[in-house]
Amino acid sequence: MRKRRHADIALSLTSFGDIAFLMIIFFMLVSNFMKKANMEITPAASSSLEKQETPKVSVTMDADGAIWYEGNQCSPQELAGLLKMRADDLRDDPVHIGIHKSHQRRTFMPVIEAVTEAGLKMVLTGELEE
Amino acid sequence: MKRTGKQRSSDIELDLTSFGDIAFLLIIFFVLTASLDRPFGRQMEMPSAASPPQGAESPRIPTINILEDRILYTEGEGAERELNMTELRGELFKKEFPRQEPKARLVVLEMADTVEYERYFQVVTMIAETGGVVAMLSD
């Protein structure tokens, strides 16, 4: 009989759901939610780079000279204040700094000074030059 | 009528089809938004200094002066030499910074206001790669 046969082949989806939720938890933990998606930046290139850990905190200066801290725009003074507030939390985690390659010293140096003033470690990020 | 335990269990079975659909929609969302790439970079040891660091007058402290179109290198009182990036890397590796005590790992960096970030980035990451500590001179 047709009805009976249909019930015989029902799949148990319990383990399927478990696996799916484990995958969701994994992607939630590793994702950065495209914080840099709306920034225009051409990273500087160097042959002296190595792979770094995923950053806990990142600071970016885009092509227009705007400073982005964790996805929010701020001034160099605000950046220094924000970093100082989190200094205890970030003692062991370096701040990743990405700066558009053609900015001049007077434009980019306040970002680097803000990090050093806060007493934090920093990683300068860029593209690996082959 | 009394039911057997086996029958009761099959009666309360949940339909998990929609649960699986939602879970996979969430997975697709996270796959698309996640950036799993680890970035390339170089960790810097960079003490801030308003004046030349102690020991900068020592005869062996290297000084790198980045100008818009060239890089000048001096060691203590020695003559200033113009170097390209490859020559500079050679000079820095010769210093064997990892074997030196922290004070002897300093490299003094001077830079013109008009120098672009990429040039600065290449020099400071090279100093860090060779084990040197950048001591930046500010105005």
- Per-residue pLDDT tens over the stretch A64-105: 999 999 878 999 999 999 999 988 888 888 999 999 999 999
Q: Please spell the DSSP secondary structure of chain A, one letter per residue.
A: -HHHHHHHTPPP-HHHHHHHHHHHHHHHHH--TTTTTT----B-EESS-EE-PPPSEEEEE-TT--EEETTEEE-HHHHHHHHHHTTTTTSSSPEEEEEBTT-BHHHHHHHHHHHHHTT--EEEEEEEP-
| pLDDT, position A125 | 93
Chain B residues with beta carbon closer than 8 angstroms to that of A104: 113-117
Residue A11 to residue A13: CA distance in whole angstroms: 6
| pLDDT, position B50 | 47
Choose among B21, B102, B106, B56: nearest CA to A20: B21
For residue A98, what are its two tokens?
Answer: 């990405």
Q: Range with the lowest mean pLDDT among A41-55, A71-85, B44-58, B60-74?
A: B44-58
Chain B residues with beta carbon closer than 8 angstroms to that of A114: none
Please report which confidence band the pLDDT of residue B1 belongs to, taking 50, 70 and 90 as the band edges: very low
Q: What CATH code is carried by the domain that includes residue A95?
A: 3.30.420
In a domain, A20, yes or no: no
Mean pLDDT, all residues of chain B: 80
In a domain, B19, yes or no: no
Shortest distance between the Cα of A99 and any Cα of chain B, in A, equals 7
Checking if the pLDDT of A16 tops 50, the result is yes
Chain B residues with beta carbon closer than 8 angstroms to that of A33: 33
In a domain, A17, yes or no: no
Q: Do B30 and A124 touch (CB under 8 A)?
A: no
Q: What is the pLDDT of residues A38-70, one digit of tens each?
A: 678 899 999 989 988 888 888 999 999 999 998
Q: Do B43 and A13 touch (CB under 8 A)?
A: no
In a domain, B119, yes or no: yes
Choose among A38, A102, A43: nearest CA to B42: A43
In a domain, B35, yes or no: no
| pLDDT, position A32 | 62
In a domain, A4, yes or no: no
In a domain, B40, yes or no: no
In a domain, A24, yes or no: no
Shortest distance between the Cα of A122 and any Cα of chain B, in A, equals 6
In a domain, B130, yes or no: yes
In a domain, B2, yes or no: no
- Structural domain including A60 reads 45-128
Comparing CB atoms, the residue among B41, B44, B117 nearest residue A102 is B117
| pLDDT, position B36 | 67
Total structural domains within chain B: 1
| pLDDT, position A112 | 92
Checking if the pLDDT of B95 tops 50, the result is yes
Contact A35, B39 (CB under 8 A): no
Checking if the pLDDT of B31 tops 70, the result is yes
> Which of A124, A125, A127, A129 best tests the B interface by mutation, with the highest count of B CBs <10 A?
A124
Residue A44 to residue A104: CA distance in whole angstroms: 12
Note the ipTM here. 0.74
In a domain, A13, yes or no: no
| pLDDT, position A23 | 83
| pLDDT, position B90 | 92
In a domain, A123, yes or no: yes
- Structural domain including B57 reads 48-137
Q: What CATH code is carried by the domain that includes residue B88?
A: 3.30.420.270
In a domain, B116, yes or no: yes
Q: What is the pLDDT of residues A22-39, one digit of tens each?
A: 888 887 777 665 555 567
Contact B120, A99 (CB under 8 A): no
Sheet holding B106-111, edge to edge: B48-49, B133-137, B106-111, B62-66, B71-75, B81-83
Residues B47-75 have a mean pLDDT of: 73
> Which of B9, B117, B137 best tests the A interface by mutation, with the highest count of A CBs <10 A?
B117
Total structural domains within chain A: 1
In a domain, A119, yes or no: yes
In a domain, A78, yes or no: yes
